[in-house]
């Protein structure tokens, strides 16, 4: 039990003493995950919205593909990005391997289908009639789509928040393509792996607690957003 | 009214879903200033016609033309059967159509205020739509459509999701507003009472086709087909053979030997020659019951000596089953039933004007 108490104490000390090593890792962690969710969202949101709204042949296949992306193993993504960016790979000349950019690329690939899948569900949960009703009041197709997305906005925000939570706590891909280099590519998750291997359990636990607190904060925010306004007002029957 | 160029002209309109043709209308006009009801049962294609009129769906064939060709989508507005209120306040919902049409600033504020007042919603302007009752929500849906001042307002079953008290109030609002706030309106409904209360003309729709267009009076007094008669309340049909026919009246000998005088539309009269199989329809509320010995003057041309077989309450009225030379059903008020001291076995005279009996050819 003692180790948990020590670890908690150590975690609080490290955080509040402004320890450069810890804050450096936090800074890189946020930089990589926020960049990953911005780029993953930029790809995933439009994809999810498109799949949620459009009807075309082959749509089911694409939806299945997006849903598979949910279960994309991070190490496999890490492996593919590694091969692409390695010296012998097609993008080797960019020399991005073991840089934050490589980690951002991997996390973008992980986040995009995650965001797309949740956004798709959110858009589909709004009755299709919404766009027809907007158009029946004179809205253009584009404006009617905006009205539809406005109704799905809580679900769309949830997609981004959940995507951020997922990539922030991911370890496999960032470890492979980032290399866990101190002050460069070391993030919370990879730092935990390293410190545990080196027997610095208290420090590893401190990082673990920070990660937990952040995960909790993200989920609390998500819950708040969802509770403040139900994602969807399903077709009410007025009786 | 019909002499004026129509605001909307529907020609040879067809819409199919797969193999099924759901709308098949040769021609239908909406005149400026007119309220037209499209009356029909579920599955007649009314909601598809609603979406076609609002240009939300493309027809497979035919056209819907609006007088003057400038951007018809901006000149119409629709109220859906189950209105979806956009997340936000009542005011936001009323602004939706105005924003879409680029009405800004003071003009938008003024029009929203007007729409709120028209439907007595001013005290709910800043209420969250999730807090509204069904009747209030339906009024918001109507207010947001009126706020854009459409030349043509199309309403799909606007009272069907309301309970009886709310329906009466909403119908009154509708009559007042359609007369004062819009140029023309199309009301789509399965409820004949809605159609009669609100419309100048009624188009009866069956299996995607318009089977009769006329004033509410035309539809009630001169239904063109047995379907129209049945759908507008004449649910009682008697079968027989035409024994005589002249310019005005058709005499139909019923299977039990008794004859009944009826009227018929011009098309039907062509086929209702002596010997032709026919059915006659009447409305139970048109049957007048008098005490048994009553032989006084009456304009009723059908008189039958009958016995009361049974009496059963039917809503606010009493349904009286009569037997004898002919079996009839009458609907009378409770007061009427009491003053006649109706009871099973009582002898009565049942009178039914020939004009209230409609003959149709069968087969």
Contact check, Cβ <8 Å, A133/B78: yes
A147 chain-B contacts, CB cut-off 8 A = 86, 96
Full DSSP string of B52-63: HHTTSS--SEEE
What would the two tokens of residue A136 be?
């029946």
Show Cβ contacts of residue B35 under 8 Å, excluding neighbours closer than 6 positions.
B178, B179, B184, B185, B186, B187, B198, B199, B200, B201
Residue A231 — very low, low, confident or very high, per pLDDT cuts 50/70/90?
A: very low
Q: What's the pLDDT score for residue A90?
A: 94
Q: What's the pLDDT score for residue B257?
A: 84
Q: What's the pLDDT score for residue A47?
A: 97
Q: What burial letters (b/e) apply to B285-295, b meaning 16+ CB within 10 Å?
A: ebbbbbeeeee
Q: How far apart are CA A111 and CA A109, in angstroms?
A: 6
Q: Residue A178's closest CA among A91, A110, A96, A89?
A: A96
A227 chain-B contacts, CB cut-off 8 A = none
Q: What's the pLDDT score for residue B235?
A: 63
What pLDDT, in 10s, does the model give residues A194-227?
999 998 887 888 889 889 988 899 889 888 877 7
* pLDDT mean over A65-82: 91
Compute how many other C-beta atoms are within 10 angstroms of the C-beta atom of residue B209.
15
Q: Between A151, A235, A239, which is nearest B163 by CB? A: A239
Q: How far apart are CA B78 and CA A139, in angstroms?
A: 12
Q: Between B87, B96, B135, which is nearest A134 by CB? A: B96
Q: How far apart are CA A178 and CA A145, in angstroms?
A: 40
Residue numbers in chain B where pLDDT is lower than 70: 1-3, 69, 235, 293-300, 363
Which residue did the predictor score with more confidence, B179 or A174? Answer: A174
Contact check, Cβ <8 Å, B84/A235: yes
Contact check, Cβ <8 Å, A129/B84: yes
Mutant choice from A133, A141, A228, A237 vs B, greatest count of B C-beta within 10 A: A133
Q: What burial letters (b/e) apply to A114-139, b meaning 16+ CB within 10 Å?
A: bbbbbbbbbbbebbebbbbbbbbbbb
Compute how many other C-beta atoms are within 10 angstroms of the C-beta atom of residue B41.
14
A138 chain-B contacts, CB cut-off 8 A = 73-74, 77, 97, 100-101, 148
Mutant choice from A127, A128, A130, A137 vs B, greatest count of B C-beta within 10 A: A137
Cα atoms in the 13 Å half-sphere on the side-chain side of B203: 25
What would the two tokens of residue B264 be?
């018929």
Backbone dihedral angles phi then psi of residue B187, each to the nearest 5 degrees: -110, 120
Q: What is the pTM of this model?
A: 0.81
Q: What's the pLDDT score for residue B362?
A: 85
Whether B156 contacts B125, CB under 8 Å: no
Min CA distance, A37 vs chain B (Å)? 27
Judge residue A142's burial from the number of C-beta atoms within 10 Å of its C-beta, 0-12 exposed, 13-18 middle, 19 or more buried: exposed
Compute how many other C-beta atoms are within 10 angstroms of the C-beta atom of residue A22.
20
Contact check, Cβ <8 Å, A151/B87: yes
pLDDT at A234 over 70: no
Cβ–Cβ pairs < 8 A, chains A and B: 78
Q: How far apart are CA B284 and CA B282, in angstroms?
A: 6
Q: How far apart are CA B82 and CA A85, in angstroms?
A: 55
Q: What's the pLDDT score for residue A48?
A: 96
Does A239 reach chain B within 8 Å, measured CB to CB? yes
Whether B148 contacts B71, CB under 8 Å: no
Residue A228 — very low, low, confident or very high, per pLDDT cuts 50/70/90?
A: low
What pLDDT, in 10s, does the model give residues A117-158?
999 999 999 998 899 999 999 999 999 999 999 999 999 999
Q: At what angle do helices B134-147 and B105-118 cross, to 10 degrees?
A: 140
Q: What's the pLDDT score for residue A1?
A: 60
A214 bridge partner residues:
none
Chain A's closest residue to B71, CA to CA, is: A138
Q: How far apart are CA B283 and CA B96, in angstroms?
A: 46
Q: What's the pLDDT score for residue B294?
A: 52
* pLDDT mean over A190-195: 94
SS3 B211: strand
Q: How far apart are CA A125 and CA B121, in angstroms?
A: 29
Compute how many other C-beta atoms are within 10 angstroms of the C-beta atom of residue B67.
17
Which residue did the predictor score with more confidence, A159 or A201? Answer: A159
DSSP-derived letter for residue B120 is T
DSSP-derived letter for residue B232 is T
* Beta pairing class for B317-324 and B277-282: unpaired
Predicted-complex ipTM score: 0.80
Show Cβ contacts of residue B187 under 8 Å, excluding neighbours closer than 6 positions.
B35, B36, B37, B38, B155, B158, B174, B178, B194, B195, B198, B199
Contact check, Cβ <8 Å, A138/B144: no
The secondary structure of chain A, three-state, reads: CHHHHHHHHHHHHHHHCCCHHHHHHHHHHHHHHHHHHHHHHHHHHHHHHHHHHCCCCCHHHHHHHHHHHHCCCHHHHHHHHHHHHCCCCCCHHHCCCCCHHHHHHHHHHHHHHHHHHHHHHHHHHCCCHHHHHHHCCCCCHHHHHHHHHHHCHHHHHHHHHHHHHHHHCCCHHHHHHHCCCCCCCCCHHHHHHHHHHCCCHHHHHHHHHHHHHHHHHHHHHHHHHHHHCCCCCCCCCCC
pLDDT at A10 over 50: yes
Contact check, Cβ <8 Å, A151/B86: yes
């Amino acid at each position: 039990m003692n180790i948990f108490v020590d670890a908690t104490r150590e975690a609080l000390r490290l955080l509040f003493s402004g320890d450069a090593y810890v804050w450096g890792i936090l800074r890189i962690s946020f930089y990589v995950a926020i960049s990953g969710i911005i780029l993953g969202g930029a790809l995933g949101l439009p994809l999810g919205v498109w799949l949620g709204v459009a009807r075309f042949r082959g749509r089911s296949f694409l939806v299945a593909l997006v849903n598979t992306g949910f279960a994309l193993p991070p190490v496999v993504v890490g492996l593919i990005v590694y091969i692409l960016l390695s010296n012998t790979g097609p993008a080797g000349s960019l020399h991005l391997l073991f840089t934050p950019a490589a980690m951002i690329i991997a996390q973008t690939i992980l986040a995009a289908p995650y965001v797309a899948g949740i956004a798709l569900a959110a858009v589909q949960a709004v009755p299709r009639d919404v766009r027809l009703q907007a158009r029946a009041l004179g809205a253009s197709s584009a404006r009617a789509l905006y009205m539809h997305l406005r109704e799905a906005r809580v679900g769309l925000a949830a997609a981004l928040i959940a995507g951020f939570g997922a990539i922030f706590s991911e370890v496999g891909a960032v470890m492979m393509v980032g290399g866990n280099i101190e002050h460069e590519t070391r993030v919370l998750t990879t730092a935990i792996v390293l410190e545990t291997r080196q027997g610095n359990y208290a420090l590893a636990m401190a990082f673990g607690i920070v990660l937990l607190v952040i995960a909790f904060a993200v989920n609390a925010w998500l819950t708040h957003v969802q509770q403040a306004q139900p994602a969807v007002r399903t077709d009410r029957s007025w009786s | 009214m019909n002499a004026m160029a129509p605001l909307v002209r529907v020609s040879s309109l067809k819409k199919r879903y797969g193999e099924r043709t759901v709308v098949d209308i040769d021609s239908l006009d909406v005149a400026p200033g007119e309220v037209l009801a499209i009356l029909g049962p579920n599955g007649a294609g009314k909601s598809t016609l609603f979406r076609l009129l609002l240009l939300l769906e493309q027809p497979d064939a035919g056209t819907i033309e609006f007088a003057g060709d400038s951007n018809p989508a901006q000149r119409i507005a629709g109220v859906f059967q189950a209105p979806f209120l956009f997340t936000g306040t009542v005011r936001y919902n009323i602004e939706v159509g105005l924003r879409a049409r680029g009405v800004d600033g003071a003009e938008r504020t003024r029009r929203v205020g007007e729409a709120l007042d028209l439907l007595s919603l001013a005290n709910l302007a800043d209420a969250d739509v999730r807090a509204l009752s069904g009747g209030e929500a339906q009024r918001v849906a109507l207010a947001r459509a009126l706020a854009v001042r459409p030349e043509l307002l199309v309403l799909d079953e606007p009272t069907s999701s309301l309970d009886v008290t709310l329906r009466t109030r909403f119908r009154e609002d509708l009559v007042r507003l359609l007369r004062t706030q819009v140029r023309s309106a199309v009301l789509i409904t399965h409820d004949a009472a809605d159609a009669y209360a609100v419309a100048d003309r009624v188009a009866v729709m069956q299996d995607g086709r318009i089977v009769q267009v006329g004033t509410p009076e035309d539809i009630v007094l001169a239904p063109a087909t047995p379907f129209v008669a049945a759908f507008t309340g004449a649910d009682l049909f008697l079968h027989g053979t035409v024994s005589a026919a002249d310019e005005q009246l058709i005499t139909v000998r019923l299977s039990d030997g008794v004859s009944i005088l009826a009227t018929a539309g011009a098309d039907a009269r062509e086929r209702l020659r002596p010997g032709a199989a026919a059915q006659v329809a009447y409305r139970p509320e048109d049957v007048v019951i008098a005490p048994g010995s009553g032989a006084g003057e009456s304009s009723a041309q059908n008189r039958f000596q009958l016995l009361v077989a049974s009496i059963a309450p039917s809503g606010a009225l009493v349904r009286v089953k009569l037997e004898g030379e002919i079996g009839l059903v009458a609907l009378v008020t409770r007061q009427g039933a009491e003053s006649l001291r109706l009871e099973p076995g009582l002898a009565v005279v049942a009178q039914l004007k020939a004009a209230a009996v409609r003959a149709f050819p069968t087969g």
